[in-house]
Every structure is written in C-alpha cells, then in structure tokens.
Amino acid sequence: MHFLIPAAGSGSRMKAGKNKLLIDLEGESLIYWTLKSVFSASSINWVGIIGQPKDKELLLNSAKEFADIVHWINGGETRQQSVFNGLKELPKDAEKVLIHDGARCLINPELIDQCAKQLDENTAVILATKVTDTIKIVDNEGFIKETPDRNYLWAAQTPQGFLVDRLKKAHSMAIDKNWNVTDDASLFEMLDWKVKIIEGTYSNIKITSPLDLKIAKLFVKKP
C-alpha cells in the first residue's frame, strides 16, 4: 500500500513562523510522530512526503530515522495541488493509496491498516467521527440559516484511501472544471462516486492551533 503525506502548508493559523510540522511535541517534531505511526502500520510499504522545497532539509532532519526511506515530493500552492503532485510521483505500479495530512500526528497505526484493508472492497474510504455538537449553517451576516440533522453529520479526517487510477481521474477532472476542495473525498462526491466511511477516533485531531498542541501532549505515545 502506498501512502502520501501532504505537508506543504504554511501553518499560518498556528502562528509558529515556520511549517507547523516542525513544531516540537514531547521532544520530537510533529512530522516525526506522523511518520512513526505510518511506519508502524503493517500494510504500508511506500511513503511519500509532499512538502515545500524550502522545508525539505528541515523536515527530513527533524525525522532523521525515516529520512532515507521516505520519498520527497515538492508541494503546490494548495493542498489539492500538493496531492496532485504526489499522485504524479507514485510508482507506475501503485494501485491503491492512502492520503494522510501530516498534521494528524496522533493517527493510530491500526486505523491506517483498517483503511488499507477496507480498500479491498471499496474504491474510496475515509476515516470520520460522529459529530457531537449541533451544527449550524450560517449566512454572511452571521445569522443561522439551517440546522442539519446531526444523525447524518460526520467530521471527515484522514487517512482517506482510493484506487489510484480513480483518484488521478478525479483530480484531472477537478482541474478541468476548476473545482477547489479541502479533501480528496470531496472530489469523489462531486462526481457521484461512492466513498465509504470508517469510524475513527476523536484523538486523531489535526494540529491547527496552539490548543491542539496541548491536547496532543496528552495522547502522544512516547517510547
């Protein structure tokens, strides 16, 4: 199974002044913790990191243990472009791929394997959790327009897994049609292609703000 890690964001919401994946969490960088989990998953045998060229040395140096076994791919201006670059760099024989945000450094290796296994029976899968808050759709003036039924609401996470041919096709069509999305499953939805939900864990947070880092400290597994 092939695995791509988009890691080319600017991390502006974290206000760290550097790629947030370089931030320290219990003595190691966030990208180190992500890679540690990925390489602990038994289903994964090829890993690519998609990052900005200026961050290459810093990111690889901050996770030295894995620097020689990961494949480096230059990222794009948006997450969508970064993933597209990653897809182009997969080995020719790659049939299935999991895409996982570098900022979800608490991912459990068993959940990675579960996503990989579910791809035997599905063309697309994503990890997600049931939403516990009541969600409001709000207009531009800040007034509530609608309250969707919570029973049908799930919060999307990564990994998101796909048959490579299908995902490449979806990305190419998105370029043609000028679709801009924040995750890969959205492209499948726009094309009316089925995506299977796999129930994940609430601890698989995407580190976005300083508060997330405090939460991550509670969950990170030191050797």
User: Binding-site residue total for ligand C5P (CB under 6 A)?
Assistant: 17
Ranges within 47-106 binding ligand C5P (CB under 6 A): 50, 75-79, 82, 101-103
| Binding flag, residue 8, ligand C5P (CB under 6 A) | yes
Pick from 209, 198, 32, 211: nearest CA to 116: 198
Q: Which long-range contacts (CB under 8 A, 24 or more apart) does 163-170 make?
A: 163/95, 163/96, 163/119, 163/123, 163/124, 164/2, 164/87, 164/90, 164/94, 164/95, 164/96, 164/97, 165/95, 166/123, 166/124, 166/193, 167/87, 167/97, 167/124, 168/87
Instruction: Tell me whether residue 37 or residue 82 sits nearer to ligand C5P (CB atom).
Output: 82
Applying CB under 6 A, among 1, 2, 3, 7 the residue interacting with ligand C5P is 7
Instruction: Tell me whether residue 8 or residue 25 sits nearer to ligand C5P (CB atom).
Output: 8
**Other CB atoms within 10 A of residue 87 CB:** 24
Instruction: Tell me whether residue 118 or residue 208 sits nearer to ligand C5P (CB atom).
Output: 208
Shortest distance, position 160 Cβ to ligand C5P, whole Å: 12
- Neighbouring residues of 109: CB distance < 8 A, sequence distance ≥ 6: 37, 38, 40, 41, 42
Binding mask 165-204 for ligand C5P (x = CB under 6 A): -----------------x----------------------
Instruction: Tell me whether residue 117 or residue 206 sits nearer to ligand C5P (CB atom).
Output: 206
- Judged by the rule CB under 6 A, the positions of this chain that interact with ligand C5P are 6-9, 50, 75-79, 82, 101-103, 182, 206, 208
